[in-house]
């Protein structure tokens, strides 16, 4: 039986993520929500969801005592970061006057900055396209420029452009997905993104962590 843990650190749309994963999981795959260190260590794969602010996310990880377990899991097993679960993989976020993040992937998280004449609203909220910038098993069966659902005011800027797996345009192009070895992370919410989001989750549950 394959065991996939959706990490509960007191932030994130856990029920929606876990229910969406259960919906597409194979009969031999068990989805559970947990913050127990042993469950994270023993899991075959990790889904790291998140919403809210970077400072509270990092605080909750540390308070729950699972920061080290998350870092270790990101080195060893298929790992899917969602929304804030993508942003805190970076070194540093400008949110909340600056927050040091997990530093699993090199890069920063910055706010949307637009010329005044664009009059774009922040947060970036709603459906938008993701252009795939590299082939990856999690894009299997998902057409390029498929639409996903976003809710965010900050976006990642990887230090290494080869980490970018997908880009989206909102006033300017920004990194909407990153991939590195056994890690894939996406700014959009696949659990809110209809058929394409479910397809991405199914691809993750079937993924062995090999790029």
Answer whether 116's CB lies under 8 Å from 84's CB.
no
Instruction: Give the DSSP letter of residue 102.
Output: -
Catalytic residue among 101, 152, 180, 191: 191
CA distance 90 to 112: 17
Catalytic residue among 83, 95, 155, 180: 83
CA distance 198 to 111: 28
Q: b vs e for 189-208, b when ≥16 Cβ sit within 10 Å of the residue's Cβ?
A: bbbbbeebbbbbbbbbbbbe
Please confirm, yes or no, whether 57 is among the known catalytic residues. no
Please confirm, yes or no, whether 189 is among the known catalytic residues. yes
Catalytic residue among 152, 155, 180, 189: 189
How big is the chain, counted in residues?
211
- Residues known to be catalytic: 83, 189, 191
């Amino acid at each position: 039986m394959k065991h996939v843990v959706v990490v509960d650190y007191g932030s994130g749309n856990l029920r929606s993520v876990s229910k969406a994963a259960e919906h597409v999981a194979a009969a031999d795959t068990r989805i559970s929500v947990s913050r127990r260190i042993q469950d994270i260590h023993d899991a075959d794969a990790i889904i790291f969801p998140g919403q809210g602010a970077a400072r509270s996310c990092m605080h909750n990880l540390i308070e729950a005592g699972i920061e080290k377990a998350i870092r270790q899991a990101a080195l060893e097993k298929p790992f899917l970061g969602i929304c804030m679960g993508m942003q805190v993989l970076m070194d540093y976020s400008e949110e909340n006057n600056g927050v040091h993040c997990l530093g699993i992937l090199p890069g920063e998280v910055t706010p949307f900055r637009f010329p005044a004449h664009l009059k774009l609203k922040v947060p970036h909220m709603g459906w938008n396209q993701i252009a795939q910038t590299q082939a990856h098993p999690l894009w299997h069966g998902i057409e390029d420029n498929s639409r996903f659902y976003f809710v965010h005011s900050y976006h990642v800027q990887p230090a290494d452009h080869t980490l970018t797996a997908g880009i989206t345009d909102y006033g300017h192009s920004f990194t909407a997905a990153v991939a590195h070895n056994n890690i894939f992370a996406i700014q959009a919410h696949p659990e809110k993104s209809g058929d394409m989001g479910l397809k991405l989750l199914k691809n993750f549950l079937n993924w062995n962590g090999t790029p």
